[in-house]
Each structure stands twice: as structure tokens, then as C-alpha cells.
Amino acid sequence: MRVEHPDITRSLIATEEIIPPRGGTAFPIKAGQVCRVIDVDGKQVADFICFNLRDFVDKLSVENTQLLNGTLFLTRGHHLYSTKATQLMTITADTCGVHDLISGSCSEYTNAYRYGVRGTPNCRSNFERVLEPYGIPLAEIPYSFNVFMNTPIAPEGTTGIQEPKSKPGDYLDLRANIDLLIAISNCPQERNPCNGWNPTRLAVVVYEVEPTGKGAIQQ
């Protein structure tokens, strides 16, 4: 199955894949290429991390990303920053507008603590599996930028996970500013509203930017 991308010139697509429910993927991306994360069916979260391809220690830092952007609410024009304050990626398009920078990734341990269930599928285990071929152990995997996740913050500072605002076909485009290794977990969580109680598919497309500087076909 292939998701159509009418706003991207087909010849500029470098790679594309469907991530099944509860699955994950990892892949390199070159500086200047754009990674599009698509919510195929709606209300599905993509836990997203990346590493400097030349220096895996220089990896996504959600803390530096918040600090250097001056906001917790990322959208078009904001950047992902690393542990060394490297500007890793820039958000160039966002059709949803609601994402999460504070909730991290579900894990065996947090699921056991919150729900009293052991052995559940989880994003930390997905990352560990897909990054093993690159020699990156679990202890070196950063916490994630959660694409499409809806975690509102109340005035008094409390948080609570709600169903995503993303609709079928919504996407986020992130341009690589350096060569990167990207990993994405199609969040398996089904014990809270994170994925609308029903994990579904994601699509990921890596495409080249048009010579005009625009990544998508101009209407």
C-alpha cells in the first residue's frame, strides 16, 4: 500500500514506507532532505528522535529544543536542537499544529507503574529494537518529540493526555539541517487516549527539496 502525496513531485521522493500499528523504523537522512510524518488514519502519535549521523552523542534534546525555541508548542518555523545545541531539523510544514515535547516515550516501566501490566508493547522498546543495528543501546536513546500527541498544560501546570487533534492525512515536515539518523516509533499505547485508544498506521516519506527552495509542488 502506498500513500499518495499530490503536493510532492514523485521524482523527488527518496524513500517512503508505511509503519504498521505498534511498529517502528530507523533510517539515515541527508542534509537538505525533508522527512514527512503522516497520520494515515487519524489520531495516531509518532514518537520521533534523531541523531547527528557523524556523532551519535549529539542527539535530540527536548530540553534544549524547548529552551532555544522559547516554547513547548512546536510548529512551522521551529527547530529541533541537540544535546550540543546543534540545530538538527526545522519544521517546514504542519497541518495539525498540536504536538508534545514533555511526555517522553511510553516504556515497559511506566506502563507497569500506571496500568499494572507487564510486557506491553512500548515506544522505548521499539527504539531499542530499530536502533540496535546502529549500535545505539537503550541507555543512549533520548526522549522523544511526540508528533500529533495532545498533552495540554493547564494554567496551574497540570498535564493530561487527550486524544490527538490530527485527522487522516495530516502531516508534519521536518527538514534535516545536517546528516541525521532518524528513528520513529508508531506509538503502541492503548491504555490512555494518546492514540484515540486504537493504534493505527503512520506513513513516512523522505523527499528532496525543489531547486526553487520549495519542497512541494507549487499550486
C-alpha pair distances (Å), 198 with each of 44, 151, 174: 8, 17, 26
C-alpha pair distances (Å), 201 with each of 46, 124, 134, 192: 10, 18, 25, 18
pLDDT at 3: 79
State whether residue 195 is helix, strand or coil. helix
Largest CA distance in the chain: 54
pLDDT at 6: 81
pLDDT at 216: 53
pLDDT in tens, 8-67: 999 999 999 999 999 999 999 999 999 999 999 999 999 999 999 999 999 999 999 999
Which of 69, 64, 63, 72 is CA-nearest to residue 90? 69
Q: How many CB atoms lie within 10 A of CB 171?
A: 23
Residue 65 has phi, psi (to 5 degrees) of -60, -45
C-alpha pair distances (Å), 110 with each of 81, 190, 217: 26, 13, 43
pLDDT at 1: 61
pLDDT at 219: 27
Rounded-to-integer distance, Cα 135 and Cα 202, Å = 25
Can you say whether residue 145 is alpha, beta or left, with left for phi > 0 and alpha for psi between -120 and 50 degrees? beta
Do residues 42 and 168 make contact, with C-beta atoms less than 8 angstroms apart?
Answer: yes
Rounded-to-integer distance, Cα 137 and Cα 119, Å = 19
pLDDT at 134: 98
Rounded-to-integer distance, Cα 39 and Cα 36, Å = 10
Which of 130, 153, 128, 129 is CA-nearest to residue 141? 128
Question: Which residue ranges in the chain fall short of pLDDT 70?
Answer: 1-2, 212-219
Rounded-to-integer distance, Cα 141 and Cα 87, Å = 18
pLDDT at 5: 87
